[in-house]
Structure 1
Amino acid sequence: MTTEPSAYHQRVARQKRKAILEAATRLFLDSGYARTSLAKVAEAAEVSKATLFKQFPTKAALFDAIVTASWRTGEEDVVRPSAGDPGTGLALIGRRYVALLTSPGMADLFRIVIAEMPRFPELAEAQFNQGKMPYFDSVRRYLEAECAAGTIAVDDLDLAATQFLGMISNYVFWPRMLLPHWAPDEASMERVVDEAVRMMRAGYGTG
């Protein structure tokens, strides 16, 4: 006799989790972190309190899950670029980064963290340690692989990863924190990625 949940129950559990994360994000943004209770999240997500507490026993655990989901959406299903062609690999990473930064919930998540940081610094720590750093490390590992392949020469991998991601986010994302209607078109964002790749190859390429 198996104790594994059926495919149906697994699907229902995923749907409820998605509803909880979406409801919590809306409430955190509209009401603030302090004024949002798990009971309110359960009501907004149309799930029982027992269902919510089973998955997220604390509000901090719920916020951590929102951060993780926002930074890793779809990343587990994509093919990582192979070392050997930094132009192609960096372009692929750059375009995925644009898609991530322009996803519907990413700007909202940062606004929650910025608004609540004076009272709840742990939210910023969660955003940094569970969201940004794992993504940053994946880019760093790619650059490290290209160094091993001899296609680029980088003395400071952390700096190089910061430079590449910064060239993209400083145009695509950060202006949205002050200008809510900032929405560069696809061609502009493509050009930003292409220029970031060109500068990385010019600065670190060996060929």
Structure 2
Amino acid sequence: MTTYHQRIAQEKRALILAAATALFLELGYDRTSLARIAERSGVSRATLFKQFPTKAALFDAMVTESWSTADEGDPPQAGDIVNGLSTIGRRYAELLSHPRMTDLFRIVIAELPRFPELANAQFSHGKLPYFESVRGYLLAEHEAGTVRVEDVDLAATQFLGMIANYVFWPTLLVPGWEVSAERAAQVVDEAVRTTTARYATTGPGASTDD
């Protein structure tokens, strides 16, 4: 494809995904058809079916693209656990603060009883790849000798959980819950300090466990 046609295709893809998200929230996953999404997005049915032959494929793309924003920028290099975790934590907090992420979780939660495959897509195409990137970073730090982590899965879960439990989950449950950029930065900093104190082998606050 030429650069022009690639740009047009990306623009139409963005319109489709935006329309699908709005309709899933408005009508529910079951009552939203691909034809209705095509009409709302202003693209032809042929164009939509070419990119997304099924509704499940469209939802998978929504999940993947929403979580892929976390991959922007190079992964932190091992050797400085505070800087590396701070970079990862800031990216995660920013990702969770995006309105599309809240919308996706609301769709999954609302439709979970009838469509458990939506939760599977959210986990396998979204959460799991991001978790694996954090896990890989901690393993690299462990191999570099900057941290000593016996259960890297648990360590990654703890770190991400400290951020999500304040920045993200209350937005689904508490009306009007908002977290300022300054507060989110503080949450990330505290998560970094806690994780460093538990697992770091060198530097201030390093763990002295044998």
What is the TM-score when the length of structure 2 is the normalising length? 0.95
Q: Over residues 57-76 of structure 1, what are the superposed CA-to-partner deviations in whole Å (9 max), with x where a residue is unaligned?
A: 0000000000001101262x
Displacement of 1:80 in angstroms is 1.1
Partner of 1:185: 180
Partner of 2:205: none
Ranges in structure 2 where 5+ consecutive residues have no aligned partner: 203-210
- 1:120 alignment partner AA: F
Alignment counterpart, residue 105 of structure 2, candidates 110, 115, 125: 110
What is the TM-score when the length of structure 1 is the normalising length? 0.96
Alignment counterpart, residue 29 of structure 1, candidates 18, 25, 30: 25
Partner of 1:195: 190
Displacement of 1:98 in angstroms is 0.6
Q: Partners in 2 of 1:162 and 1:137 — Cα distance?
A: 10
- 2:16 alignment partner AA: I
Q: Over residues 92-135 of structure 1, what are the superposed CA-to-partner deviations in whole Å (9 max), with x where a residue is unaligned?
A: 00000011000120001000000000000000000011100000
Off by >6 Å, runs of 4+ in structure 1: none
- The number of aligned residues is 202
Q: Partners in 1 of 2:66 and 2:128 — Cα distance?
A: 13
Q: Partners in 2 of 1:121 and 1:104 — Cα distance?
A: 22
Ranges in structure 1 where 5+ consecutive residues have no aligned partner: none
Q: Partners in 2 of 1:180 and 1:129 — Cα distance?
A: 29
Q: Over residues 42-94 of structure 1, what are the superposed CA-to-partner deviations in whole Å (9 max), with x where a residue is unaligned?
A: 0011000000000000000000000001101262x411100000000000000
Q: Partners in 2 of 1:36 and 1:96 — Cα distance?
A: 32
Displacement of 1:180 in angstroms is 3.7
Tell me how large the CA RMSD over aligned residues is.
Answer: 0.8
Q: How high is the sequence identity, in percent, across the aligned residues?
A: 63
Alignment counterpart, residue 41 of structure 2, candidates 25, 42, 45: 45
SS in 2 for 1:66: helix
Q: Partners in 1 of 2:181 and 2:93 — Cα distance?
A: 10
SS in 2 for 1:153: coil
8 Å Cα contact 2:70/2:95 also seen in 1: no
